[in-house]
């Protein structure tokens, strides 16, 4: 068991071992992930209220440090960067000199990774490192990342991890997992998931967990699971989507969808990128960058002379059928981990669970 001073010692120990420590902080009305030096930087006594198309922060009646669900950012921005310079090229006389990117991967520690986010990182590991074409920049960062998970006690109304089998309790993929206990005390049950996690915990001020501590920790995640309000239909969904490319629901959702791409940018598993070349105005240098792209943009499907998905209907269909159906064929899992971000951050409140339900109900 770790007390508050133990959590502070954990953050300091990671920093002392050369990690850039990133954790949840409150910024501009939302909880995002940024550099932290200690527990004073965490959003104390704050929680989020999320619904389709809405997100706001409120005070809690206690001093919980992790009393909220996921915000608009995911850890994706630190592992699979929004913009990545692949190389720079300079004119040197009559020759060209190629420079590697300046941004080299360093040791990083993530504090407060939720169970759905561990699942999302595992999916990105599979997509970006597990196949024939490896994203070396992602791999270099991932190899140096220490993960401190926090089990969820307060899911938002947009969460549906239970139906995706990704939470609210972390099942693996972390170095240390914490459960925040606020039942008349403020402590954390800390579980090591790797040798590195165990070694770090051995160095911190802890006391052994007793049976009551374990029960209290399980009660936290059991309550969270019982409070989950949304669910993704499972049975028959893949087939219902793959068998219905002309379903009337695609027209229905296209009338509401703005093709703004918010859902893909907030999604912790969406991985698509494009490559751009940028040249200096003086003609002496250029750089090649990779940046996040979205299947909701017209240019995303541009093929020799035109876009093959000119309508919002076909772009939404591409996104949802890839995420919930074709992903199984391609990567052996769903592309959705049930974090609910695309529901809260859709400006018109389109809810992927409701859209999916419309297809499954249509099959019955
Ligand atoms: S599709 Fe939506 S709910 Fe599923 S992982 Fe992506 S953002 Fe989260
Ligand atoms: S579903 Fe919502 S967030 Fe996604 S592109 Fe359409 S309007 Fe934007």
**End residue of a domain, out of 183, 203, 226:** 226
Instruction: Tell me which residue range forms the domain holding 258.
Output: 237-363
Residues 148 and 220 in one domain: yes
Chosen domain end from 226, 258, 288: 226
How many domains would you assign to the chain?
2
- Report residues of the chain scoring pLDDT below 50: 364
Helix (H) or strand (E) holding 265: helix 262-266
CA of 87 to the centre of ligand 1 (A): 32
What is the reported pLDDT for 268?
Answer: 98
Nearest Cα to Cα of residue 62 among 48, 78, 46, 73: 46
The answer as to whether 232 is a domain residue is no
In a domain, 231, yes or no: no
Judge if the beta carbon of residue 346 lies within 6 A of ligand 2.
yes
Of the candidates 226, 254, 280, which is a domain's last residue?
226
- Whether residue 43 is found in the same domain as residue 169: yes
CA-to-CA dists, residue 217 to 47, 178, 258, 330, angstroms:
19, 9, 42, 36
Mutation pick for ligand 1 pocket among 115, 117, 320, 323 (CB with most ligand atoms within 8 Å): 323
pLDDT for the residue numbered 235? 87
- Whether the model pTM is above 0.85: yes
Same domain for 86 and 39: yes
Are residues 213 and 280 part of one domain? no
Q: What's the CA gap between 5 and 69, in Å, rounded?
A: 23
Residues 73 and 121 both lie in one domain: yes
Q: Among 340, 349, 353, which is best to mutate for testing ligand 1, by the most ligand atoms less than 8 A from CB?
A: 340
Residue owning the nearest CA to atom 5 of ligand 2: 259
Q: 241 CB less than 6 Å from ligand 2?
A: no
Q: Are residues 187 and 261 in the same domain?
A: no
Question: Cα(126) to centroid of ligand 2, in Å?
Answer: 26
267-295 b/e with 16+ CB inside 10 Å = b?
bbbbbebeeeeeeeeeeebebbbbebbbb
C-alpha dihedral, 294 to 161 to 122 to 126, nearest 10°: -60
Give the residue, by CA position, lying nearest to ligand 1 atom 4.
Answer: 336
Closest residue (by CA) to atom 1 of ligand 1? 336
Q: Are strands 176-181 and 145-150 parallel, antiparallel or unpaired?
A: parallel
Task: Give pLDDT, residue 104.
Answer: 76
316-360 tens-digit pLDDT: 999 999 999 999 999 999 999 999 999 999 999 999 999 999 999
What is the Å distance from ligand 2's center to 348 Cα? 7
Residues 222 and 313 in one domain: no
- Provide the residue count of the chain: 364
Residue nearest to atom 3 of ligand 2 (CA): 346
If asked whether residues 180 and 140 sit together in one domain, one would say yes
């Amino acid at each position: 068991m770790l007390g508050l001073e133990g959590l502070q010692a954990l953050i300091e120990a990671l920093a002392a071992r050369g990690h850039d420590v990133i954790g949840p902080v409150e910024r501009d009305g939302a909880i995002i992930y940024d550099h932290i030096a200690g527990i004073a930087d965490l959003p104390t006594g704050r929680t989020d209220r999320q619904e389709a198309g809405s997100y706001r922060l409120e005070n809690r009646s206690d001093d919980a440090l992790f009393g909220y669900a996921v915000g608009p950012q995911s850890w994706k921005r630190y592992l699979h960067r929004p913009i990545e310079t692949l190389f720079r090229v300079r004119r040197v006389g009559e020759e060209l000199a190629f420079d590697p990117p300046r941004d080299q991967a360093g040791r990083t520690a993530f504090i407060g990774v939720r169970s759905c986010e561990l699942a999302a990182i595992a999916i990105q590991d599979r997509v970006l490192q597990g196949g024939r074409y490896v994203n070396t920049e992602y791999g270099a960062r991932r190899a140096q990342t220490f993960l401190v998970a926090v089990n969820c006690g307060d899911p938002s109304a947009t969460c549906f991890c239970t139906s995706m089998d990704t939470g609210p309790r972390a099942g693996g993929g972390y170095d240390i997992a914490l459960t925040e206990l606020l039942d008349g005390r403020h402590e954390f049950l800390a579980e090591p998931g790797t040798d590195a996690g165990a070694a770090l915990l051995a160095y911190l001020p802890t006391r052994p967990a007793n049976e009551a501590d374990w029960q209290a920790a399980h009660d936290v995640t059991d309550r969270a699971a019982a409070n989950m309000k949304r669910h993704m239909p499972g049975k028959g969904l893949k087939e219902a989507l793959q068998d219905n490319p002309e379903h009337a629901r695609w027209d229905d959702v296209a009338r509401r969808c703005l093709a703004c791409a918010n859902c893909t940018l907030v999604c912790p598993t969406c991985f698509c990128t494009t490559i751009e070349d940028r040249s200096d105005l003086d003609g002496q240098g250029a750089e090649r960058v990779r940046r996040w792209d979205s299947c909701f943009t017209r240019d995303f499907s541009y093929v020799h002379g035109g876009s093959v998905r000119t309508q919002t209907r076909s772009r939404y269909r591409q996104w949802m059928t890839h995420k919930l159906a074709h992903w199984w064929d391609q990567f052996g899992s769903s592309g959705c981990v049930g974090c609910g971000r695309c529901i809260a951050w859709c400006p018109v409140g389109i809810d992927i669970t409701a859209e999916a339900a419309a297809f499954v109900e249509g099959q019955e």
